[in-house]
Structure 1
Amino acid sequence: MDLNDYLIPIIVVACLIVGYVIRVTPALQPVREYIPLIVCILGAVLGAVIQGVTVESIIMGAVSGLASTGLNQVFRKALNLKEGASK
């Protein structure tokens, strides 16, 4: 089984959006350091909701959530965005 078998694109996008909203919302700045944990848990829950409650669907969701954090970092490095910049 390949890592790509564990990624669910809709969960990656949903977690990417939630992580971005947390990062740019001033009221949520205290929880900013927990974004990877938040999107991992959100991904696991979404995986269970979308595909049913099984160990595999929860793992697939969690991996997809964590992939959104990595995808965010790839975009930031590719676009040379500074940490803390919202645009």
Structure 2
Amino acid sequence: MDLNEYIIPIIVIACLIVGYVIRVTPALQIARDYIPLIACILGAILGAVIQDVTVEAIIMGAVSGLASTGLNQVFRKTLNLKEGASK
């Protein structure tokens, strides 16, 4: 199996948005250190909701959630954005 078979684009986008909202919302700064964990859990839940509740769907969702965290870091490094910047 290829890793690309486990990534669901809509879950990646949803987790990117949730991670961004957590990062820029002052009231949620406490949860900022847990964005990868939140994205993984949210992805697993969304995977189970979008597909049936199976182990494979949960794993696909969790992998997609973690992929959103990695994608965010690639964007930040490519664009040379600083950690505290909201852009």
Length, aligned pairs only: 87
Which residue does 1:48 correspond to in 2?
A: 48
Give the Cα separation in 1 of the matches to 2:15 and 2:83. Answer: 19
Gaps of 5+ in 1: none
Give 1:13-24 correspondences, 5 Å limit. 13-24=13-24
Q: How does the TM-score come out when normalised to structure 1?
A: 0.99
Which residue does 1:60 correspond to in 2?
A: 60
Q: How does the TM-score come out when normalised to structure 2?
A: 0.99
**Percent of aligned pairs with the same amino acid:** 87
Which residue does 1:30 correspond to in 2?
A: 30
| Residue-by-residue CA offset, 1:17-69 (whole Å, 9 max, x unaligned) | 00000000000001100000000000000000000100000000000000000
Indicate the RMSD between aligned Cα atoms, in angstroms.
0.4
Give the Cα separation in 1 of the matches to 2:84 and 2:74. Answer: 15
Gaps of 5+ in 2: none
Cα displacement (A) at 1:84: 1.2
Instruction: Give structure 1 regions of 4+ aligned residues with deviation exceeding 4 angstroms.
Output: none
